[in-house]
Structure 1
Amino acid sequence: MVWRRYDMRHECQEILPGLLLGPFVVSKSLEALTNLQITHIVCIRDAKEAFSVKPRYPERFQYLVLDVEDNEEQNLIRLFPAANQFITSALAQGGRVLVHCNGGISLSPAFVIMFVMQHHRISWEDALHMVQNRRYCISPNGGFLTQIKEYESIYRANLAVAQYPGAQRNVRRKREDDDEEVGGREDKRPLIDVTSSHDANAMET
């Protein structure tokens, strides 16, 4: 069992249908990628690793490369929308996506957890457990976990706004109507005064 667990660190696991998470070593094997029917690859790497962690088969697969730093100060939330769009588009086309960093332990799992959380509209804890149950060795650093927690509030707020677009339009329309009504009253007042003054002068003449 111990040896099996060790081997899992060097393999990839399917987290959601069509979404796989693993280490860089998997992305180097054309045979493995072909057997897994991978069509898209998200390559997440520390900038210092760019010379070795890079797309190996750009003519065979569609790649998204994200240069990040594997430390607690790295802003993942700012980079996540690009990964989210790439993965969502690939899955919608019936593709299969491999998300990897160097070891598949901290960086790439953080992105996958955020994707799972938003995709299933679940809490960060449930998303973490879902991913960890499929790839037991993941361990996002403390800074990444903090951002994963923060992202739950962000995606839920965006979801709430998306669910009530009509209410926003009604508020905006009411404000526009109020502005027009106020403007109309201001326009009519001087017209009455000017006309009255002009008629009076004409009568005196």
Structure 2
Amino acid sequence: MDFLERIKARKSCLKACETTVTTVSGHSYMEKILADGTSVISWPQASTSPGYVIDTKPDLQVAHVLPGLCMGSQDVAHDFGLLKNHSVTHILSLGVKPVTLDQMLNYTYVQLLDLPETNLISSLDQCFIFIDNARQSGGCVFVHCNAGISRSASVVIAYLMRKESMNYQQALMHLKNIRPVIKPNPGFVQQLKDYEKMIFTLDGK
């Protein structure tokens, strides 16, 4: 008996079974495998939920990076009590338009997509000016994007490189020790490494 015949013989021994399959759009169907190996598909009522697990738990962690500088997710930016507890006076929103909670808070929005091809470096000057103004006035700026993982982390890493004379790896590890979930997208990582070379060239290092 050759290999193909053995597979066919083994297949004939399989028991009939039913499996519910859910697509990414949230539609479900029942797939029934008969004893002879054929399949029958039936479509029950479509689900109203997507075909993946949604994490609805808010991320309210505030990572204090430097005096007057902290970062995290947009969930923090929507919690006025939490912002007040951390003495936040300025909010820098990256790619996520902020919800104005209080007229005493200073807001700046920077259009920045979390895509590898997005030009991160071109947005840094605007971000740095806002951060510096907040810190120099004795305030505290909260930098956020959507999840506080890629865009806000990249801007803060760049700030540490430019203002604290850290290289890329030092800035990355400094921030990762404070907020372990950070993970700049691959395009931002390359841009930050190029930015490191630019800084060291300008500073004559």
Which TM-score applies when normalising by structure 1? Answer: 0.68
Partner of 2:87: 37
The one-letter amino acid of 1:77's match is I
Q: State the secondary structure of the residue aligned to 1:37.
A: coil
Aligned pair 1:93/2:137, yes or no?
A: yes
Q: Distance in 1 between matches of 2:108 and 2:68?
A: 16
How many residues end up aligned between the 2 structures?
Answer: 149
1:117 pairs with 161, 175, 188, which one?
Answer: 161
Partner of 1:168: none
Partner of 1:202: none
Partner of 2:172: 128
| 1:9, distance to aligned residue in structure 2 (A) | 4.5
1:55/1:155 Cα in 2 relative to 1: closer, same or farther (>3 Å)?
Answer: farther
Q: Distance in 1 between matches of 2:100 and 2:200?
A: 37
Structure 1: gaps spanning 5 or more residues: 1-6, 162-205
1:60 pairs with 91, 94, 104, which one?
Answer: 104
Runs ≥4 residues deviating over 6 A: none
User: Which of the pair has the greater relative contact order for Cα pairs under 8 Å at 6+ separation?
Assistant: 1
CA deviation string 1:1-53 (max 9, x = no partner):
xxxxxx894311101111101000000011111111101110001xxxx5xx4
Partner of 1:189: none
Q: Distance in 2 between matches of 1:18 and 1:8?
A: 23
Relative to its length, the structure with more helix (as a share) is 1
Q: Distance in 1 between matches of 2:187 and 2:149?
A: 14
| 1:117, distance to aligned residue in structure 2 (A) | 1.1
Partner of 1:24: 74
Q: State the secondary structure of the residue aligned to 1:126.
A: helix
Q: After superposition, where does 1:178-189 map in structure 2 within 5 Å? A: none
> How many percent identity over aligned positions?
32
Greater Cα shift, 126-135 or 56-65: 56-65
CA deviation string 1:133-168 (max 9, x = no partner):
00000010100000110111222233349xxxxxxx
Partner of 2:60: 10
| 1:120, distance to aligned residue in structure 2 (A) | 1.3
- From the CA coordinates, give the structure whose radius of gyration is larger: 1
Q: Distance in 2 between matches of 1:91 and 1:8?
A: 27
Q: Distance in 2 between matches of 1:37 and 1:10?
A: 15
Relative to its length, the structure with more strand (as a share) is 2
Q: State the secondary structure of the residue aligned to 1:79.
A: helix
Partner of 2:128: 84
The one-letter amino acid of 1:67's match is Q
| 1:58, distance to aligned residue in structure 2 (A) | 5.5
Q: Distance in 1 between matches of 2:132 and 2:105?
A: 16
Which TM-score applies when normalising by structure 2? Answer: 0.68
Q: Could you tell me whether the CA contact under 8 Å between 1:13 and 1:134 is conserved in 2?
A: yes
Q: Distance in 2 between matches of 1:58 and 1:154?
A: 39
Q: Could you tell me whether the CA contact under 8 Å between 1:9 and 1:137 is conserved in 2?
A: no
Partner of 2:40: none
Q: Could you tell me whether the CA contact under 8 Å between 1:118 and 1:155 is conserved in 2?
A: yes
Q: Distance in 2 between matches of 1:71 and 1:42?
A: 19
Structure 2: gaps spanning 5 or more residues: 1-56
1:143 pairs with 187, 190, 197, which one?
Answer: 187
